[in-house]
Amino acid sequence: MIEAIRVPRNAVSAAILLCLGLAAQAHAAGEQAEQFTPEFRQIHSTMDAKHSPRIVAPDSVARGEWFTVTVSVGTGSQHPSMSEHAIRYIALYKDTAEIARAYLHPVYSAPTVTFTIALDEGGSLRALAEPNHSAAWETSKKIEVRP
Amino acid sequence: MIEAIRVPRNAVSAAILLCLGLAAQAHAAGEQAEQFTPEFRQIHSTMDAKHSPRIVAPDSVARGEWFTVTVSVGTGSQHPSMSEHAIRYIALYKDTAEIARAYLHPVYSAPTVTFTIALDEGGSLRALAEPNHSAAWETSKKIEVRP
Amino acid sequence: MIEAIRVPRNAVSAAILLCLGLAAQAHAAGEQAEQFTPEFRQIHSTMDAKHSPRIVAPDSVARGEWFTVTVSVGTGSQHPSMSEHAIRYIALYKDTAEIARAYLHPVYSAPTVTFTIALDEGGSLRALAEPNHSAAWETSKKIEVRP
Amino acid sequence: MIEAIRVPRNAVSAAILLCLGLAAQAHAAGEQAEQFTPEFRQIHSTMDAKHSPRIVAPDSVARGEWFTVTVSVGTGSQHPSMSEHAIRYIALYKDTAEIARAYLHPVYSAPTVTFTIALDEGGSLRALAEPNHSAAWETSKKIEVRP
């Protein structure tokens, strides 16, 4: 039946191998269910001294002007960068539009990154930082854009 | 004054070079402002035959069971993959939690990716696909998770 | 002196804040040094039953033809996806050119991804998979491209 | 036959949809072949005033000490950030181990990023910057790590 829809042979063998792989994984289903924790469920926008991103950016910029935004994680001290406990990425948004995202290797990278950006119009700069043990934490900061 | 706060010398020279770099960029501000288009401003959740992601996933899965989700871009034909017009990334979310994200090189990669995932509880699978010329397009699909 | 080189005021304050941040981090230097393990130092191309990527792809394709490549991690069983022990990303290269890269959230994502790609000329498909506790593991597979 | 190997039903339908998708893509094969240019074939390590990354980092650091590395693209002027011509990402390696990688949205992001990193031992810092129209450009810089 699959041949009847004229699928390239490569695709068929890839698909079958994919199926076999999934069958092999099936027995792990119960185990995997135990790994989920409530922290994974949604973005955290509450304040947290260890996880909330800190945004350093001007309050007002000219339209199209390049300026730097530094995002670091942790308001008191810096979030650790250890192989089993680290920040996976720091992302910067202007309202819902994603502007830049840095993926960080544990141990080598501290959770601090500086991007150079330009904006079109005012709104909220939003920084997301996602650790390995939960969904991302979010902080936002209003910014004015002068015409 | 900067010395007074005992900043490592490396940081000072890096910061000064950063400043010099920004000064050099300043003259481009007017030019950059012309590059912005309204399409960049926010996620597009309206239906678009060329840009809306298509999600292929089961309607119901068991908690912790591995299953595949295929996201492709374009409902009629596939979105092009050309150096000046391509999909930058395809991302998969469960409600607001990001699950996986594939960055695609123009020309080599078609905007189609299959992830293997497991869920904790039901909700919305959301796929985002971001082309180079706008903010991302979003599609969502309800999924039930059986205990 | 800094003013004399006509740096935008935004850049100066960002740079100073950056310096302050670095000073605060300084005391952690000894601690951080203890986090490094020899596994972080270089890409692993030796065979490892748990970490070597497995590439499923055709041996021969036509130039410009779309085909799927599935990369999974682990040759016997699948590498775990737990918050403290997981695969950070799977990347696919054609020789030294990067084609696609999928970042995977621990717990939600299994280390298996299928890309749809096209090639220009024959060579080596290389898959890299990087866990949180080491540098990446690499596997390669020859592929012929018919004109 | 597929049922005989006891593949979950979800996987079968996903695989068939995947096949259908590939069939729909088949007619584009000739077209796609025309998109490849020689610039895509391998990492460029030759000097190029517009594309070679510029690395600003200390010559010597203490083991485990946090320090900043700024990577920008272009040695004379900055590489453009336009929707059809931009830098996709900037990545930083220590020899072959990847340390950090920033994906940049065209127009909003200038190709300049500052990471904060720590090293274990001396070697080469390598910066890769990949534009949309070619494989990545690479620059490296020796760095000493004091025990």
Chains that touch B (3 or more CB pairs under 8 A): A, C, D
Stated as kind and residue range, the H or E segment containing A123 is strand A123-131
Q: What is the DSSP string of D28-74?
A: THHHHHTT--GGGSS-B-S--TTTSEEEE--SEEETT--EEEEEEE-
Q: Are C118 and B110 in contact (CB under 8 A)?
A: yes
Nearest CA in chain D to C37: D120
Q: Write down how long chain D is.
A: 147
Q: In chain C, where do the E strands start and end? A: 53-56, 60-62, 67-73, 87-94, 97-104, 109-117, 123-131, 137-146
Q: Which residue has the tokens 């350093």?
A: A56
pLDDT of residue D77: 81
Q: Nearest-CA neighbor of A124 among A144, A146, A110?
A: A144
Q: Which residue has the tokens 């390995």?
A: A132
Over residues B103-135, the pLDDT tens digits come to: 999 999 999 999 999 999 999 999 999 999 999
Here the tokens at position C73 are 């991690």
- Are B97 and A40 an interchain contact pair (Cβ–Cβ within 8 Å)? yes
Between positions 128 and 147 of B, the ones with CB within 8 A of C are: none
Here the tokens at position B113 are 């990716």
- Are C25 and D66 an interchain contact pair (Cβ–Cβ within 8 Å)? yes
Between positions 104 and 133 of B, the ones with CB within 8 A of D are: 105-108, 110, 112, 114, 130, 132-133
CA-based torsion, C38, C41, C45, C51: positive or negative = positive
Using a 10 angstrom Cβ sphere, with 0-12 exposed, 13-18 middle and 19 or more buried, the burial of residue A6 is exposed
**Which of B25, B72, B115, B119 is the best mutation test for C, with the most CBs of C within 10 A?**
B115
Q: Nearest-CA neighbor of A102 among A60, A40, A41, A53?
A: A53
Q: How far is B87 from chain A (nearest CA, A)?
A: 14
pLDDT of residue B12: 42
> Is the Cβ of B69 closer than 8 Å to some Cβ of chain C?
no
Here the tokens at position C137 are 């593991």
Over residues D47-86, the pLDDT tens digits come to: 899 999 999 999 999 999 999 999 999 877 889 999 999 9
- The residue type found at B128 is L
In B, which residues are within 8 Å of D42 by CB distance? Answer: none
- Are C21 and A105 an interchain contact pair (Cβ–Cβ within 8 Å)? no
For chain D, state the CA radius of gyration. 21
In the sheet that holds D123-131, the strands lie side by side as A60-62, A137-146, A123-131, A87-94, A97-104, D97-104, D87-94, D123-131, D137-146, D60-62
Here the tokens at position B98 are 């990001």
- Regarding beta strands D60-62 and D137-146, do their DSSP bridges make them parallel or antiparallel, or are they unpaired? parallel
Q: What angle do CA D1, D2, D5 make, to 5 degrees?
A: 95
pLDDT tier, C28 (very low <50, low <70, confident <90, very high otherwise): low
Here the tokens at position B5 are 């706060």
Phi-psi domain of B141 (left: phi exceeds 0; alpha: psi -120 through 50; beta: other): beta
Q: Are D139 and D55 in contact (CB under 8 A)?
A: yes
Q: Which residue has the tokens 């999924």?
A: B143
- The residue type found at B17 is L
> Is the Cβ of C33 closer than 8 Å to some Cβ of chain B?
no
Nearest CA in chain B to D114: B18
Q: How far is A73 from chain C (nearest CA, A)?
A: 11
ipTM: 0.83
Q: Nearest-CA neighbor of D98 among C132, B112, C34?
A: C132
Over residues C35-69, the pLDDT tens digits come to: 988 898 899 998 899 999 999 999 999 999 999 99
Chains that touch A (3 or more CB pairs under 8 A): B, C, D
Give the integer Cα–Cα distance in Å for C14 and D88. Answer: 25
Helix axes B9-26, C9-25, angle to 10 degrees: 160
Q: Are D83 and D32 in contact (CB under 8 A)?
A: no
Q: Nearest-CA neighbor of A66 among A117, A100, A142?
A: A117
- Regarding beta strands D123-131 and D137-146, do their DSSP bridges make them parallel or antiparallel, or are they unpaired? antiparallel
Over residues A70-106, the pLDDT tens digits come to: 999 988 788 999 999 999 999 999 999 999 999 999 9
Over residues B65-114, the pLDDT tens digits come to: 999 999 999 877 889 999 999 999 999 999 999 999 999 999 999 999 99
Over residues C62-100, the pLDDT tens digits come to: 999 999 999 999 877 889 999 999 999 999 999 999 999
